[in-house]
Amino acid sequence: MGFLDNKVVWITGASAGIGEATAHQVAKEGGKLVLSARRVEELVRVKKELGLAEADVLVLPMDVTAVASFEGLAKQVIDKFGRIDVLFNNAGISQRGDVIGTSMEVYQTLFDVNFFGVVALTKVVLPYMIAQKSGQIAVTSSLSGKLGTPKRSGYCATKHALHGFFDSLRAEVTEHNIHVLLVCPGYINTDISLNALAADGSKYGKKDVNQANGLSAQECAEKIVSGLKNRKSEIYMGGKEVLGVYLKRFFPKLLEKIILKQQPK
């Protein structure tokens, strides 16, 4: 019997990368899955590869900026499974562009996807978890939610905002037996940099060297499920970049010197 045996896990951004890998890990742990993202064909592919019974998986396409649709989507989950045990807010978008050149429209998009969509979906799901007196909410932040780095000002800002919101939420919902986990990946080998927004809002279209050499999405997913199992409040994963969290805490000036030399690679 797995840790997630018969639990219903809703994953956004489930069509690729960390979301897809986490879906596979959840299936290994016996969980039932709700797969959400914009690309329906990719969600269908992931569903087939999971090999779950039809009764144990729901493909639920969604755009995380279409907040008005969330109530109806949550009702579809409840109609099929009767409950939501874990909400994994994983959908997000990154950025590559300096402050002076980045348009306000890009900053707005980053917040709509990475923050406001996440908050809105959480608010829709919370009443169900409170009613069932249990639940877990996991959120993909980033090490960029703990640090600021060049050419990612908007991305870092959205991830910092998640920490403020979900740390506050954790303090509010513990009494309802609801647990909140902030997931902070460093360099993970996904397409996040390919799909990042450039300063003008176009696709960045390049894979960062650090990303290509990063931790696998599967290793990341294993750590996420372990974090849920052990009811962690915050987890970090990656390579030596994780040390930045501790440098920020204990040696902030040293970290500042390191970051001043950094550019996305």
Q: What homologous superfamily is domain 8-260 in, according to CATH?
A: NAD(P)-binding Rossmann-like Domain (3.40.50.720)
Q: Where are the domains of the chain?
A: 8-260
Is the pLDDT at 117 greater than 90, yes or no? yes
Is the pLDDT at 35 greater than 80, yes or no? yes
CB 138 within 8 A of CB 229: no
The verdict on whether 155 is a catalytic residue reads yes
Sign of the CA dihedral running 55, 40, 15, 183: negative
Task: Quote the CA–CA distance of 118 and 96 in Å, as a whole number.
Answer: 21
Is the pLDDT at 174 greater than 90, yes or no? yes
Identify the active-site residue in 128, 155, 187, 204: 155
pLDDT in tens, 48-58: 999 999 999 99
Single out the residue of 45, 24, 23, 32 nearest to residue 4, CA to CA.
32
Environment class of 38 (CB within 10 Å of its CB; exposed 0-12, middle 13-18, buried 19+) = middle
What is the number of other CB atoms lying within 10 angstroms of the CB of residue 81? 20
pLDDT in tens, 192-219: 989 999 999 999 988 888 888 899 999 9
pTM: 0.95
